Amino acid sequence: MQEAVTILSLAIATFVSTNVDNLFLLVGFLGSPGFRVRNMVVGYVGAVVLVLAVGLAISYAADFAPNRYAGYLGLVPIGMGVARLYRVLRYRDGPAEVGAMPVTRGALSVGVVMIANSGDSFAAFVPLFAETREPFTLLIVAVGAFLSVFWCWLARWMASHASVQRPLQKWGAYVLPIMLILVGAYILSDTGTDTI
């Protein structure tokens, strides 16, 4: 039971930390004239499911590597987290503004933009899948699917409450790198790599 709670917490933290930037993109899409919420939901949820499916497939490929080396995949999110934290602390300009969103209205356009912006999701979810026992991988997928729908609702709510965007923009830049570092540290400590 404790392991399930740990995996659930990590899955939530991983999704939230790697999708803060996508939340702003979704808000940007909603600001486009004539944009339909249905297109956002289909495009974004589809992109998340694809990212999770590919991440899971890559993690299965990692199973063929010697187990003591598979944990080194945790260095990927740690490296990304340290690099992002360095940029945030050096430039102090927070996350990139949504800025001018492309004028797109279709679900496919939303999905393509979200997949293109999902490098951090791959970097965090692949090692998490690789270091999670089989019964709990479905828990991670279920969390990702549920939170993607919740993210769409949250983006729609934020689009109508501009005052909520400011704190998220201010602190969102720090959330992603810290969570990537924590997820990577968990992956390293949960394998034989912490004794090598």
Contact 138, 56 (CB under 8 A): no
What tens digit of pLDDT does each residue of 112-146 get? 878 777 777 888 888 888 877 777 888 999 999 99
pLDDT band at 151 (very low <50, low <70, confident <90, very high): very high
Distance between CA atoms of residues 34 and 65, nearest Å = 49
CA pseudo-torsion sign 23, 101, 50, 107? positive
Say if residue 95's pLDDT is above 60.
no
Higher pLDDT, 100 or 177: 177
Distance between CA atoms of residues 83 and 88, nearest Å = 9
* pTM for this prediction: 0.67
The pLDDT of residue 70: 57
What tens digit of pLDDT does each residue of 169-179 get? 566 567 657 76
